[in-house]
Each structure stands twice: as C-alpha cells, then as structure tokens.
Structure 1
Amino acid sequence: MDPSAVRAYYASKSEHERDRLLSPEGLLERVLTTRLLEPHLGAPGRALDLGGGTGPYSVWLAELGWEVSLADLSPELLAIAESSLPAGTVQEVVEIDARDLSRWADGTFDAVLSLGPMYHLTTAHDRALAASELARVTRPGGVVAVALMPRYTSVRRVLSLPDERWQLADPAFVDRLLDEGVLENAVPGRFTHVYGVQPTEVCPFFESHGFSSLLLASTHGFLTGVEDGLEGLRVEHPAAYLGLLDRVVALASDPGTLATAGHLLYVGRRA
C-alpha cells in the first residue's frame, strides 16, 4: 500500500465518504453489515472502529452500549467525525495505519470492526501484518468484522467509468486485476491501491492468523447493482421491502453471491 495515495483519495472524497452510507448503495451495505454482525457481538465492551472514517459505525456501536475508539488513516475523515459526532460517542479519535496498532496493548478490545483498511493492502506482507495486529489487539474470544472486496468488483468499477475504462486496453493491467487482484489506478485522484480477494481464500487466511470463522457474507446480498431499485421499493411498498430485505439477509452467505458482491463481510472470533 502507498499510504500517501490512499490518504490523498480520501482527502479529495471526504464529503462523499461522509454521505456514502446514506446513498441507496451505501444504505443497503450499512443495513446488511449491522444486521449480519450484531448477532455475533455479544455483551457490550470496548470496541475499535478501525478505518471507521467519519464514524457511522461508531455511532451504531455506541448506541448498542459499546465504548468506542475511532481510528483511521485519513485525518480529513477524522476531522469530520470530531466535528459532527454527538458528544460522548467515542472515547478517542486516532489517526493510525492498520499495519501498526502498537498504540494499544495486547487484548485491548472485545470487538474490532475493520471495515475498510484490508482492501487497500495490496501486498501479502501488508495483509499479514494487518491481520496479525488485528488478532493481537483483540482479546481471546473477542469478535472481529472485516470488510473485503471481491476481485471482480474492481473490474466492474473501472469498466463503468468512461475516463478510467481505457486502462482495460492494457493486457498487463487486466492480468494484474484478475490474476493478482490489484488495482493501481492511473487516473489521478481516483480509488486506488485496492486488493480484491477470492472468496474461497478469505476464511483460511484469517484462520491462519488465529481466528475461527463465523461468517462470510455479501453486504449487498444478491442485489449488487440494483440498490436504487431496492430503495424505490422501500419508498413505494414498505412491507414488500422489509420482506425482501429479510430474504437478502438470509441469503447473504449464499456462495453464488460472494464472488460478484460489492463488498464482503468476514466475521471471526479470536481463538
């Protein structure tokens, strides 16, 4: 990962990131993430919202009774959090790199949400560092939730944007996307330094770093790409929306949804 490139992207997109989970696509991601994760959290304790940006999940955890530390690589996103979060929502706000959590002692947290950092780590070495640190600061028996991007997400994203699409004419660029899962965007200021996983490799990876796997699910279920339609259903037919949403949650771990998901959610327990 190039931290400066990632910081620059989020600096330029800070207002977008503030509002992203309020968009139809982001709203579905947020609803499914919280519904899928909450049954595994257990009694409230101390939580780390790592890569938490402007703090929407910190607010959710605090409402459930957790004491929350909010941490992110982006000072711009943290500044928005500090100026907008209700008083008392978080215990501390920390600018930090997910590969080095030495600020905190072993076993500090009962739960850690890492809903962003892992998909910006483009080397195996960096991913191993981040997973080791994640395990270290989580108490034995504690829960972690990690957001990941499937490999094909980056391909679809580049293909959908006319001013980025030209990169797909380079066979080496396509090979790196599909064979290594790495997107290094040549268009300045765009989403970049992204690693896309193969879903079958996710649970073995985290299990090799001391976690027992509880869940791997799509945070868009089988509705990736049609989130606007779901939002329309919510407005026009609320009962039908709630019924379909229940089905989306129930089927979020269907293997047929994982490779084409917008985001994946891994939930594991520290051994």
Structure 2
Amino acid sequence: MYTEQNVAEHYDNAAFQFELERLEKHCPVEYAITCRYLDRYIPKEAVVVDIGSGAGHYAAFLAKRGCSIYLIDVSARLLDAARERLERAELGHRIRAVVQTSATDLGCLGNESCDAVLMLGPLYHLRELPARRQAVNEAHRVLKEGGILFAAGINRLAYLRDLFCENPKEGVKRQAFHEEYLQAGKLDPERAAPIGYAHLTTVEEFRSLLTERFEEQALVGTESFTTVWQAKLNELSADEREAWLDLVERTGATPEGLGHSDHFLFVGKKIEA
C-alpha cells in the first residue's frame, strides 16, 4: 500500500546509492539543461526552497551563485547527503534549514517567504491528483509575488520503453495493467522497482496541473533526443559538450523533443490570487 513513508524508505535504502551519482554519472544532460534554466530564471542571492532536494546537486549549484537554500526531502539519508555536499564545497553557510517533510506540507515555511521553489522530484512520487495539487498550492503559498517555480515530471512512455527493452515477454503479460497505466500513470515497486511508487505524466496533464497557479515561462524536455544515451556527454570535451547541449536545448521545447525526453521541466511565475 502506498504511503509517503514508502517513498522515504525507498530513497533511504534501495535507491540511495544510485541517487547520489545519478545526475553526474547517468543523467548529465538532464542536469546540465536544468542548470541552464536555473541560471536563467533564478537571480543570484535568491532565497530558494529545494523540495525533494535529493543528494543536493541543484542546491549546490544555486548556493555557488550566492543563493540561500532550504533543503527539504522525505528521505533523511538524502537530506544528510545534501547537507554534506554543500559543506564539502564550503557552502554550508548557504543552508537556511534542513527539514524532513513532504511537498504537501510546507508548514515550516511562511507565506511569501521564498523567491524560487524547486520541485524536481516530488510530483512524480505523489500518486494521487489531490496530493499533487496540494504540493502545487503549497509552492504557490510560500513564493513571493513574481516568484518562480521549477517542477519536473516523468514522461509516461518512459516506463513502457524501458520494459520493452529489458523484459518484453513480461510486458506482454501486463496488458490489463497497461490499460490502467495509460490512463492513470501509476507505478508500484512490483512493476517498476527502480522508481517504486510513482506517477508518470503526459505533457497535457503536467501543464494542466501547473498552469492553474503559475504562468508558464517554459516547458521543455530536458534530455530531448539524448534520452538513454545521455551518459555519452561525459566522454566529450567542454566545447563539444556545450555544442550538443545547445542542440538539446534548442529541440527540447519542440513536441518531438518533449516526446523523446524522460523528464519534463516546467518553469512558471506565480499568478496572484
């Protein structure tokens, strides 16, 4: 049975080591493109709440630009890892607080207390629509007027692609489940152990969720055509990397780039009530 505690246990145990190295080793395109948008939309020295901070990669990137950071996650081990990452980089003084809580309950933060909110993980572990709406409402509440939201969703087709690649015979046995999945996007550890309990989305559904409270500034596929080959980026020189990243960014906002991508990145400005 799904609870947010299940998600915390998943990242405290089975997924912990992978999450420590995922962005740098396995998903460098996702990381680099997201950082480009963070750099573009979040001012230096902004107050940022990183909800679902994971191992602290994006928090460290923003702290280096002078931002002060609230680290928030349901996983105690990942919060410790994020704090340690910033402290090793001599950025510990940029941490405002470290709080173990859900994206649906930001009672630790006051109204209009932050310049930017990052939700680069929580929305694809909140399986029910009311919970996702609550998380979006909480982000809206804590943002100042004109504040910026960064939110990530996972492409619903990514699960089917990976299943076809890794175990197509098993996939044939799941046809009844696939009918439900294509409608609701819900996964569980039995069928998708690497991600555990999750909700994967479509472009239309993701946009609809977020534009209720935020004016869309960008909606892009962070990997575009690189998807499962993005680790190749680590084999390139700095100039080669930037040339390919330019192409990824150029194509990521197209329907084709969004369709290829594993992750959708939404950038939105707070709409005043």
Pair in the same fold by TM > 0.5: yes
1:183 partner letter: L
Task: Kindly report which structure 2 residues correspond to 1:1-271, keeping only aligned pairs within 5 A, or say none.
Answer: 2-12=3-13, 13-23=15-25, 25-86=26-87, 87-162=92-167, 166=170, 169-186=173-190, 190-208=194-212, 210-232=213-235, 234-235=236-237, 238-271=238-271
Q: CA 1:187–1:150 in 2, change beyond 3 Å: closer, same or farther?
A: closer
% same residue: 26
Measure the CA separation in 1 of the matches of 2:186 and 2:38. 27
Q: Deviation string for 1:246-269 (max 9, x for gaps)? A: 121122111111133111110000
Which SS does the other structure have where 2:54 is aligned?
coil
C-alpha contact (below 8 Å) 2:50/2:71 kept by paired residues: yes
CA spacing shift, 1:165–1:118, aligned 2, 3 Å: farther
The DSSP-based 3-state class of the residue aligned with 1:98 is coil
Would the alpha carbon gap of residues 170 and 47 (structure 1) be closer, same or farther in structure 2, given more than 3 Å must change?
A: same
The aligned amino acid for 2:19 is E
Q: Note the C-alpha offset of 1:116.
A: 0.3
1:150-197 superposed Cα distances (whole Å, 9 cap, x missing partner) = 1111222333444x9736512222112212111123169542221111
Letter in 2 for 1:52: S
Cα shift readout 1:178-219 (whole Å, capped 9, x = no counterpart): 1211112316954222111110232332121x2100000111
Query: CA 1:95–1:165 in 2, change beyond 3 Å: closer, same or farther?
Result: farther
1:137 Cα deviation (Å)?
0.9
Which deviations, in whole Å up to 9, do the C-alpha atoms of 1:98-139 show, x marking residues without a partner?
111111111111001111000111111111111111111111
Displacement after TM superposition at 1:143 (Å): 0.3
Partner AA of 2:7 in structure 1: V
Match of 2:32, SS state, is helix
CA contact (8 A) 1:9 1:189 kept: no
**Structure 1 residues 107 and 226: alpha-carbon distance in aligned structure 2, compared to 1, 3 A threshold:** same
Conserved? CA contact 2:50–2:59, under 8 Å: yes
Query: AA paired with 1:264?
Result: F
Query: Does structure 2 conserve the Cα–Cα contact (< 8 Å) formed by 1:36 and 1:249?
Result: no
**Which residue identity is paired with 2:129?**
A
> Is the CA contact 2:12–2:77 (under 8 Å) kept in the aligned structure 1?
yes
CA distance in 1, matches of 2:61, 2:24: 14
Scaled by the length of structure 2, what TM-score is found? Answer: 0.90
Cα distance in 2 for residues equivalent to 1:40 and 1:248: 18
- 1:159 maps to amino acid: F
Specify every segment of 5 or more residues in structure 1 that has no aligned partner in the other structure, as ranges: none
